[in-house]
Amino acid sequence: MAAPSHVAIIPDGNRRWARKHNLPEFEGHRISAEKILPSIIDSLMAEGVEYFTFWALSTENVTRRSPREYANLVNLMRMFLRKRTHELNKKNIRMKIIGDVTIFPDDIRKLIDDAIEKTKNNTGMTVIFGINYGGRDEILRAIRKLTAGNTTAEITCEKFREYLDTKDVPDPDLIIRTGGEHRISGFMLWQSEYAEYAFMDKLFPEITEADCKGVIKNFLSRERRYGK
C-alpha cells in the first residue's frame, strides 16, 4: 500500500502540556505552532503525503474560550502567517484554508489571502489549515450555498461535495488525534466516511517525527475495505 495521500491531525493536549510543565497555557499552543507543526509537515512530506490538514482553531475554540485565550490564539495565527508563509512557499507547499474566516480582523484575512495567493501554484504538499472550522458548520454553510442557487437539479453526494470547503481536496485517508482522547469532535464529518483513525496518548507538543513515521507504518499495515 502506498503512503496515505491525505493525513489530518486533531492536535489535542496543548494546554495540558503547558500545565504539566508549569507554564502558562498559551505556551502549549506557541510551542506547537513554532516547533511541532513545522516538524510534522517536514516528516509527512518525507513520507510522501500529498495533503495534510491541521485543525488549528475549531468553531468551539472561537465561541467557548475566554476572550483572553481567544485573543492569544488569533495573535498566534497572525504571527504564524507572517513568519511561515515564506517558508512554506520556499518548500513548494501550497496552503489552503477550511472554515469560516469572515469573523476574523481584516489584517488576518489579508494575511490568509496573501498566503493562499503566494503559494497557489506550488506543486509539493498541500497544507490545509482548519480555522474556525467545525464539521456541522461546514455542512450548514454548504446547504446554504446550495439552496441559495435555487437549484432544481437532483442533489447527489457528488453535487453536494462541490459546496464543501474541501471540494478540491481528496477525503482524508488517515485522521490522527493526540492527547489520549477517543472522539472526532465534529472534525470533517462528511469527508471521514472511510478514513482510518489513529488515537495517540501523547499530548500534541510531545509528538515527534518518529511518531509520525510510526503512525504511517501502522496505517500501511491495515486492510482498507471501504465497506466491501
CA distance 154 to 195: 27
Q: How far apart are the first and last CA of the chain?
A: 18
CA distance 179 to 90: 31
- The answer to whether residue 61 sits within a structural domain is yes
pLDDT along the chain (228 residues), means of 10: 90 96 95 95 95 96 88 92 93 97 95 96 97 97 86 82 96 97 95 96 96 94 83
- The answer to whether residue 228 sits within a structural domain is no
- The answer to whether residue 225 sits within a structural domain is no
Amino acid at 101: V
pLDDT at 152: 67
- Can 201 be counted among the known catalytic residues? no
Give the CATH number of the domain where residue 140 resides. 3.40.1180.10
- The answer to whether residue 134 sits within a structural domain is yes
- The answer to whether residue 83 sits within a structural domain is yes
- The answer to whether residue 68 sits within a structural domain is yes
CA distance 112 to 85: 9
- The answer to whether residue 11 sits within a structural domain is yes
**Annotated catalytic residue: which of 14, 22, 42, 61?**
61
DSSP state of 95: E
- The neighbour count for residue 51, using CB atoms within 10 Å, is 22
- Can 12 be counted among the known catalytic residues? yes
pLDDT at 151: 66
SS3 40: helix
Contact criterion met (CB below 8 Å) for 164 and 138: yes
CA distance 68 to 78: 15
Structural domain including 187 reads 6-220
- The answer to whether residue 227 sits within a structural domain is no
How many separate domains does the chain show? 1
DSSP state of 137: H
Q: Which residues pair with 58 in a beta bridge?
A: 133
